[in-house]
Amino acid sequence: MSDRPQGEGWWLASDGKWYPPESRPAPPPAPVPPWAPPAARLSPGLHTSVRVFLYLTAGATGLAVIALAYAIPKMYDWWTAPVGADADEWEAWQSASRLWGGAGAIAGLAGMVLFILLLVWGSQAYRSLAPTGAGGRSWSPGWAVGGWFLPLANALIPRLVFSEIERIAHPDNGPAPIGDRWRRQPLIGTGLGAWILTVAGCVVGIAGAVIMAAATETSGSGADMLTTVTNGELYRNGLVVLAASLALAAVGQLLGAAYFRSLGERLLR
């Protein structure tokens, strides 16, 4: 300690005295920043799984269309065959019916898995956009899931959520915070096409089911319930409409796979 510095490195303390370099106290530790949860990110594995099941569902649905196209004439051959001499036609129709029914069940199972994946994907993708600083958002991660379960509204709300996700993730928005610049970005055409075909396929499928129901008669209950085709031509028309519905859905799934590829290039960069 001294009233004057005695050499290089001496330091002046708060008491007005000079001290040698070796007595200088260590600097205080840097303040610990407050804990913040890590930013949510879209899982690449989840995104890939959605694309894979879009392809699987499209393929299974396409096979169901082929099997149904094979079954329709078998059904009508049985219907138009003479009563009492139609055993071969009946067996052929039943075999073809089991074939397309099995293919349809596989497509339905793949579609169910795809639906669950889309629920998780929507919520995760929407949360992953929080760091962009996008303003004026209309939806939320909750709507990305809950919108699928509202009758009739589920034909529109999930698509609006997807539209908001793709616009916020548009590369032309620039660095964060992007404010409301995202609202001016165009939509991806394959996404709109996939959604339109999917909704159209559902509407056409309902129409086919109604036609087939009008052509059948159900009697009895429980184990004794019996369903009989009472109008073969009308039933055949219902099967044709159902095949058209499945064809629309299959093409929609293929467009959906292309759409999610484009989204992945934005969200996973």
Question: Do 244 and 176 touch, CB atoms closer than 8 A?
Answer: no
For the stretch 90-109, pLDDT in tens is: 999 999 999 999 999 999 99
Closest CA to 180 of 130, 139, 132, 135: 135
Torsion of CA 113, 187, 147, 58, to 10 degrees: -20
The predicted structure's pLDDT at residue 178 = 93
The predicted structure's pLDDT at residue 127 = 92
Residue 159, Cβ neighbours under 10 Å: how many?
19
Phi, psi of 8 (to 5 degrees): -70, 135
**Rounded CA gap, 19 and 36, in Å?**
42
- Burial of residue 47 (CB within 10 Å: 0-12, 13-18, 19+) is buried
Question: Do 238 and 212 touch, CB atoms closer than 8 A?
Answer: yes
The predicted structure's pLDDT at residue 114 = 97
Low-confidence ranges of the chain (pLDDT < 70): 1, 30, 32-39
The predicted structure's pLDDT at residue 34 = 58
The predicted structure's pLDDT at residue 36 = 46
Taking each helix axis from N to C end, the angle separating 232-267 and 44-80, rounded to the nearest 10 degrees, works out to 170
The predicted structure's pLDDT at residue 32 = 60
